[in-house]
Structure 1
Amino acid sequence: MLDDERSVDDKREYSAPRDPVGVVQSANETQVDFESQAYRELIGRSVLNKGNNVRLKRAIEKARKGEPVYVAYIGGSITQGAGAVPIHLQCYAYRSYEQFKNRYAPLDGSSINLIKAGVGGTPSELGIIRYDRDVLRDGQVQPDILIIEFAVNDADDETKGNCYESLVIKALAADNKPAVILLFSVFENDWNLQDRLAPIGWHYDLPMVSMKDALVEQFQKTPAEGNVITKEQFFHDIYHPTNMGHRIMADVLSHLFDVTDHSALDQVEQCDDQTPLIGSDFVNVKLLDRKNIEHIARIEVGAFQHTDTELQMAEMHDHDYGTPLFPHNWMYSREDTQERNRFTLHLNCKRLILIFKDSGSDEFGTANIRVDDEHIKQADPHQVNWTHCHAILLINENEVSEHKIEIEMAEGYEDKKFTILGFGYVD
């Protein structure tokens, strides 16, 4: 659906939600008139697709009845809250959750629950592996609404959208039939991967909102021509929003909720068993780490005996503190001089993703990776040069077979460290 083809419901005027009690507005938020017609039009432009509304309307009705509703967010650093201060209260995820709660839930809104699973510097290739653990909480939670935000993180996705679509399919197929919303954030240079990812949303008729559609054109205008917010006001740095930017992202989602709430109920619910547009090869991916490997695979850890505790941290949910990611890991250290240096994994699978630690420390070095006795890749922890989780695809086949994966330090790096955070496998 193109912009000029949106329905009357899509063009419903934005009504600014009340801010959660106790959240302090940043000074630059006073420079934008959030009640103006121009701001309403900016927010209205964000609706890329209203989508099939059955699931989202069902979640809103649950909220109104006071039934438990879980609103979940998964994505990269913007979903984690980068650029927002304080990160746990001013990030778009928390603010849109608060707006949803204030608008639709009765009484104190305690029936509305937040799941925030944004991790900086990570693509959907890692998000699909984290989904069971960080969103579903290993089967303890079923989100009623899921917002997926990887539009500025998937440039290096080796599967070119297959992991992204696999995540969409996995979420849509849940027994409780959650509403899945695609959120397309944008960088300061006006770039995102909307052209690659939005067709997946069209394919499944998902609600989609685009910061690119809302912002980029008006960035080029003067106030007299229709500029509402400048790049300097919206962006904290070249990647992440300011507090005001996060507010606008939250307002965009609230507008989608409002448009949906005031639209007639679609007569047929969206189909979640369509032929994939790009692929569904990673729908059933599972996390393999030190915690569960004994029940799944056979390993010889060699000198990868240590557990790395200096890990990437992320403020999950509404926490004001960071949670260490992938703590059940294997770290190589030359201290184990009596041990064989090589880490060997024997696993029945058809697809395998390695998760290793990127680091800015010169204590870490490059490792060689062999699959079935063939050298296939090197894993360089200084490729990005800051401490975070890096996913690379090792095996991508159509049939399950037994594979041997060997990881050892590359020549000249034997005195360095290397951390295997875990694996994502499909069997």
Structure 2
Amino acid sequence: MQGTSEPFLDLESHAYRNLISKSLLNKGHNARLKRAIEKTKRGEPVTIAYIGGSITHGAGAEPIHMNCYAYQSFQLFKKMFAPTSDSPLRLIKAGLGGTPSELGVIRYHRDVLREGTVLPDIVIVEFAVNDADDETQGVCYESLVLKALGADNDPAVILLFSVFENDWNLQDRLAPVGWHYNLPMVSMKDAVVEQFQHTPEEGGVISKEQFFHDIYHPSNSGHHIMADCLSWLFNITNQSELDRSIHTIDKPPLIGNDFMDVKLLDRLNGDRIARIDAGGFGRTDTDLQMAEMDDDPCGTPHFPNNWMYKGKHEEGGGRFKMILRSKRLILIFKDSGSDEFGIANISVDGKLVRKADPRQINWTHCHAMLLFDEKDARERTIEIEMAEGHEEKWFTILGFGYVN
């Protein structure tokens, strides 16, 4: 939060504008973004989508649905280019706290494309401070970027790199993906970190105490600056000549694209995709991670179509069993701060491959865990049961991400 001893943040000053301009890491090939801008100017329907972690969700902003960077930058885009205040622009905000692109690539079809009913014109991807937990070390991130880029309407994809209070992010890993496909990139690290070292007399614009709400999330001022950095990209793109060269995305991936075609399997569709015996996992968990989607002030529960186990007395026995043809599989399970939850063993084809501990993170949120990643698809048997000594504990399978 902004402290009382901090100087007034002059949003019109030359120093502030200089800070904002430093955020532009790459203008990228501008044809897709200019197309979206021109559609907006003509009064046509345009959808801007955001996917990422808690910062995209709006954590640190108060109120979260209106002062988050996503809502603010959407409003700035509308103000800059829409001919009337009631122009048909749509905001899709799909941030989910504490989750990496390993989960984001699974969520994309549901939370951004809304099960294929929406084709965004602009997609902003923000996972630079979440992807330390991506077990694929960037493969899921590049897969997500390519999934977005590959839509039939050729949307603009913007990579946004947020930053923690300790000046850390994964820009060095993720920005090469943007360079590889010549995408627009906006870096909060480039914008603010260096000037944090300076007093106002030395050219400092905003202190860490002003910019951050806590060690992870921006304050209202921080979210405002993030929105202004995106609007700077919008403005520069609008003023630039159209890039008429061919924008090539059909090239060998830089890190990998193995999860580009990942799909969600949950209780809603599972029986159409796999042979499932839920065993003792017959309940449905309703105490789920919540996130305010789009401009809604109310939280939406994530992965409601789940399988929950609440002790060995449950009807059907203890073990969840699924037979599925697949070459890659990610388990999504619920983390919890409750000591009612216990450790589960996950076996593939009769071999123990992972142990899932819902108490490792110790707060209610969605946890992605890679079970296998192989070259060829074949039929596999996945079994989940409580570890020894945890038979009376609870465990929730939120779903799976599979590639076949």
TM-score range (shorter-chain normalised) is over 0.9
1:110, distance to aligned residue in structure 2 (A): 3.2
Partner of 2:55: 78
Distance 1:115 1:223 in 2: 37
Distance 2:66 2:315 in 1: 50
**Match status 1:413 vs 2:390:** yes
| TM-score where L is the length of structure 2 | 0.98
| TM-score where L is the length of structure 1 | 0.93
**Match status 1:363 vs 2:328:** no
CA deviations on 1:218-250 (whole Å, 9 max, x unpaired) are 001111111000000000000000000000000
Partner of 2:81: 104
SS in 2 for 1:160: coil
Contact kept? 1:101, 1:109, Cα under 8 Å: no
Q: Percent identity?
A: 68
Residue 221 of structure 1 aligns to which amino acid in structure 2? H
Partner of 1:256: 233
Cα separation, partners in 2 of 1:347 and 1:153, compared to 1, 3 Å: same
Partner of 1:205: 182
1:268, distance to aligned residue in structure 2 (A): 1.6
Paired residues, what number?
403
Contact kept? 1:297, 1:345, Cα under 8 Å: yes
Partner of 2:363: 386
Partner of 2:376: 399
**Match for 1:67 among 40, 44, 58?**
44
Contact kept? 1:29, 1:244, Cα under 8 Å: no
Residue 136 of structure 2 aligns to which amino acid in structure 1? T
**Match for 2:204 among 227, 247, 256?**
227
1:267, distance to aligned residue in structure 2 (A): 1.1
Cα separation, partners in 2 of 1:29 and 1:47, compared to 1, 3 Å: farther
Matches within 5 A, 1:326-337: 326-334=303-311, 336-337=313-314
**Match for 1:125 among 90, 97, 102?**
102
CA deviations on 1:164-200 (whole Å, 9 max, x unpaired) are 0001111111100000000000000000000000000
**Match for 1:54 among 11, 31, 40?**
31
Distance 1:105 1:214 in 2: 27
Contact kept? 1:55, 1:269, Cα under 8 Å: no
Distance 2:6 2:95 in 1: 24
Cα separation, partners in 2 of 1:337 and 1:172, compared to 1, 3 Å: closer
CA deviations on 1:315-341 (whole Å, 9 max, x unpaired) are 000000000000000000116345320
CA RMSD of aligned residues (A): 1.4
**Match status 1:275 vs 2:252:** yes
Residue 259 of structure 1 aligns to which amino acid in structure 2? I
Distance 2:89 2:362 in 1: 39
Cα separation, partners in 2 of 1:323 and 1:337, compared to 1, 3 Å: closer
Give the unaligned 5+ runs of structure 2: none
Residue 355 of structure 1 aligns to which amino acid in structure 2? I
Partner of 1:236: 213
CA deviations on 1:260-291 (whole Å, 9 max, x unpaired) are 00011111242121110000000000000000
1:30, distance to aligned residue in structure 2 (A): 8.2
Contact kept? 2:102, 2:368, Cα under 8 Å: yes
Partner of 1:158: 135
Runs (4+) of structure 1 moved beyond 3 Å? 25-30, 335-338
Cα separation, partners in 2 of 1:375 and 1:106, compared to 1, 3 Å: same
SS in 2 for 1:35: coil
Residue 383 of structure 1 aligns to which amino acid in structure 2? Q
Give the unaligned 5+ runs of structure 1: 1-24
CA deviations on 1:378-417 (whole Å, 9 max, x unpaired) are 0000111000000000010111100100000001111110
Distance 2:257 2:53 in 1: 21
Partner of 2:194: 217
Contact kept? 1:28, 1:233, Cα under 8 Å: no
Cα separation, partners in 2 of 1:342 and 1:335, compared to 1, 3 Å: closer
**Match for 1:343 among 307, 320, 325?**
320
